[in-house]
């Protein structure tokens, strides 16, 4: 396989019984096949110097602005997205084979972001509630206001249309 970042030939390596491809002597990036990445992204998981400090060629520089093709499915352009809600590290992911490409240094950076998968999810949830919490609250209040309005309207019609005043006859519940 060729490196998606610098076209150097990737080298096979086995770390913690997982087979990986690294750009040794090239840009120092790492290719993780489907789900392999999950075994290395938390600080308590073993990665070793062979993954955290992949030997690089001295004259290799990498263009981070260009899109990259998946080294396995050469016709597919990988998607670039942030690894986490902290938006510090961007990773390249193939929609075809679910493989992930990390540039040199990115694995160490990712491992320093969260202590665990759980912590990463909690951070995402917090951002979600900060963003949407007030909106959801406003919606709930609005619903209350609508129910109040509904009651008032029903009250006005209690002589004209008694069935609408009977508890349980309304969509919004008895009152
Ligand atoms: Zn490379
Ligand atoms: Zn692929």
Q: Which ligand is nearest to the CA of 70?
A: 2
In tens, the pLDDT along 46-72 reads 998 999 999 999 888 888 888 999 999
3-22 core/surface letters (b: 16 or more CB in 10 A; e: else): bbbbebebbebebeebebbb
pTM for the model stands at 0.71
CA of 141 to the centre of ligand 2 (A): 47
Q: What is the pLDDT of residue 163?
A: 58
Q: Which ligand is nearest to the CA of 62?
A: 1
Q: What is the pLDDT of residue 118?
A: 86
Q: What is the pLDDT of residue 154?
A: 65
Q: What is the pLDDT of residue 115?
A: 85
How far is C-alpha 160 from the geometric centre of its chain's CA atoms? 56
Query: 67, 71, 70, 69: which is closest to 80 by C-alpha?
Result: 67
C-alpha 126/C-alpha 88 separation (Å) is 17
Q: Which ligand is nearest to the CA of 93?
A: 2
CA of 80 to the centre of ligand 2 (A): 13
CA of 1 to the centre of ligand 2 (A): 11
Q: Name residues of the chain where pLDDT drops below 70.
A: 153-175
CA of 168 to the centre of ligand 1 (A): 69
* Residue 67, CA atoms < 13 Å, CB-side half-sphere: 11
- Could you tell me if 98 and 105 are in contact, meaning their C-beta atoms sit under 8 angstroms apart? no
Cβ-based neighbour number of residue 121 at 10 Å: 13
């Amino acid at each position: 396989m060729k490196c998606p970042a610098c076209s150097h030939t990737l080298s096979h390596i086995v770390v913690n019984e997982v087979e990986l491809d690294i750009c040794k002597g090239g840009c120092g990036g790492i290719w993780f096949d489907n789900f392999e990445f999950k075994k290395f992204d938390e600080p308590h998981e073993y990665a070793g110097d062979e993954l955290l400090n992949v030997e690089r060629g001295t004259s290799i520089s990498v263009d981070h602005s260009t899109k990259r093709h998946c080294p396995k499915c050469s016709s597919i352009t990988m998607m670039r997205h942030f690894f986490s809600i902290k938006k510090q590290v961007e990773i390249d992911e193939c929609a075809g084979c679910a493989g992930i490409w990390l540039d040199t240094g990115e694995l160490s950076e990712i491992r320093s972001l969260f202590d665990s998968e759980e912590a990463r999810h909690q951070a995402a949830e917090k951002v979600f509630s900060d963003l949407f919490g007030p909106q959801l609250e406003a919606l709930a209040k609005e619903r209350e206001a609508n129910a109040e309005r509904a009651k008032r309207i029903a009250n006005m019609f209690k002589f004209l249309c008694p069935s609408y005043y009977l508890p349980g006859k309304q969509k919004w519940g008895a009152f």
